Amino acid sequence: METTITPGKIDVIAVSGAIDALTAAELIAIFHKHIHDGHPDVIADFSQVEFMSSAGLRAILASVKEARSVGGDFRMANPSAGIDKVLKMAGFHNIVKIYPSVQEALASFGS
């Protein structure tokens, strides 16, 4: 699993590879550090995530909770069809704002 941060008005953190029991803790740490470094609003670009287990779902929940606890929000963009199917099945579209593209996720913070 790798992450790349693109700074901007709202920072975009692109995640690639697998989010599972082997990588979830590291991902949570990256998101939490970023949120507490003065970036309470975060967009996670999931377009390059190839695999996600239940540990990945829990990492998303932990990051959403962390961002909202400091007055921000954790939003997701562009999950692949396979990842999105898992997100939908788990009802994540009801509790997390998920957009089909990074541009739409960025625009959502302006509205």
Partner 1 sequence: MKKRLSIVIGSGGILCASSLGLIKALQSEGIQPSMAVGCSGGSLYASIIALGIDSEIAQSLTIDLYKNDVVEGYTSNLRAAMTGETRFTESSGLVDDKVMLERLSIAFGEKTFKDTIMPLYIVATEFYSGEAKVISSGKIVDATRASSAIPMVFPPVKIGEHLFVDGAVSNPLPIDVAIREGSDLIIAMGFELPIRKRMNSYAAVTSHLNSLYMNNILKSSFAFYNAASHAEIISILPTFDRQIGGFDHHQLPYIIEQGEKATAEHISYIKKLLDN
Q: Which residues make up the interface to partner 1 (CB under 8 A)? A: 18, 20-22, 50-51, 53-55, 57-58, 61, 81-82, 85-86, 89-92
Q: Cα–Cα distance between 55 and 66 in angstroms, integer?
A: 16
The residue among 67 and 102 lying less far from partner 1, judged by its C-beta, is 67
Residue 82 per-residue DSSP state: H
Question: Residue 111 CB, nearest distance to partner 1 (Å)?
Answer: 27
Question: Residue 9 CB, nearest distance to partner 1 (Å)?
Answer: 31
Place of tokens 């302006």: 110
CB 103 within 8 A of CB 75: no
